[in-house]
Homo-oligomer: A and B are copies of this chain.
Amino acid sequence: MYKPATIKDIAAALNLSPSTVSRALRDGYEISAETKKTVVAYAQSVNYKSNPNALGLKNKRSYSIGIVVPELANSFFSQAIAGIESVAYEKGYHTIISQTHDSTERESINVNHLANRSVDGLLISMSSGTTDYDFLTRLNKNGLPIVFFDRIIDEIDTFKVTSDNQSGAFKATGALVGMDCRRIALLASAPQLSITNERLAGYKEALSHHHIPFSESLVRYCYKGGSDYQEVEDALKELLANTDKPDAIFIGSDSISICCIRAIKNLGLDTGGIKIAGFSNSDVVDLLQPSIIYVRQRAFEMGKIAVEMLLKLIESRYPITEFETRVLDTELYCP
């Protein structure tokens, strides 16, 4: 079996002490330029890589980060995770991915497991039903760095990154208005979610911008955030049963968009007159029937930014007290 070179090996080969080698490799200020050069060159030549276990043991760090998402096999999240991995990998961090399937219970269990596994930090996009954030607050207070992405919460003060959901919803709703729709229904995700409210706000903003009155009767929430098909189908049926039938529907999430299209197909609905717009990061959304106007988020980039924030938090030598919330813009596609 291949045995990787250690600092000791290098030290022995170069007639130096291990500590000198260690310092040289990490560019310690006490080491002479010449020694550094020799050491670095030799380390290169034997393909030296620091042993993460030894480092972790010493520094009390695991060099692993926990990722908690509702669903891994969902376009948006798999794209975000691809972004996360691309940075984490490069910086020498492992990941542990866990899915909640939008269940609050699994979410808190998973988060606690991850914390016990001594991850160095946590990237999380909240489940749709969660309203009690104690389990996170406690861990965060105890020193576990957390960064929220996409589905963020106000209750914990830390780095966050999300999309400009309001403007995304504004653009999509506006596009529907531009197609002469006036009775635009909203099929929203769970009201606990940050993204739901931001998208609702964008929807309302567009209506008022175009002097269209807002009507509660045209809004339905899907509390399971699209993970429960039946809920979406029922909401859709209710909307269409309105005495004054909507002429367009704006859908507030990726999976609800899919469910809704499936419901239209399953119910054999004639949506000839009804225009549909929605958030979606599916790579085949342009091929779906009926076709929809869609808002796409910069998922990959969001993942990258989220880890970068987390690593800043983890690797900072001083406690950070100033937190930033990054908001990424969205793109509207009209087929």
Contact = CB atoms under 8 A, between A and B. Distances in A.
Interface stretch (A92-100, A165-173, A231-239): A92-100
A293 to B, nearest CB: 16
A195 B118 CA distance: 40
A29 to B, nearest CB: 28
A332 to B, nearest CB: 20
Interface stretch (A46-54, A148-156, A211-219): A46-54
Nearest to A88: B96
A157 interface: no
Interface string A174-190: 00000000000000000
Contact of A2 (B56, B143, B262): B143
A264 B227 CA distance: 31
A267 interface: no
A52 B94 contact: no
Contacts of A116: 4, 47, 49
A241 interface: no
A289 interface: yes
How many chain A residues sit at the interface, stated as a range, is 35 or more
Contacts of A262: 284, 286-287
B52 A62 contact: yes
A2 B92 CA distance: 24
Given A95-B95, A258-B284, A283-B73, A57 B49 contact: no
A98 B94 contact: no
Interface in A46-92: 47, 49, 51-54, 56-57, 62, 64, 72-73, 75, 78-79, 81-82, 85, 89, 92
A236 to B, nearest CB: 15
Nearest to A55: B53
22 contacts: A2-B142, A2-B143, A2-B144, A47-B116, A49-B118, A52-B56, A52-B117, A53-B53, A53-B56, A53-B62, A72-B82, A72-B85, A73-B75, A73-B82, A78-B78, A82-B99, A258-B283, A262-B284, A262-B286, A265-B286, A282-B284, A287-B288
Interface of A: 1-2, 4, 47, 49, 51-54, 56-57, 62, 64, 72-73, 75, 78-79, 81-82, 85, 89, 92, 94-99, 113, 116-118, 142-144, 258, 261-262, 265, 282-284, 286-289
Closest 5 CB pairs of A and B: A289-B289, A1-B143, A94-B94, A53-B56, A53-B57
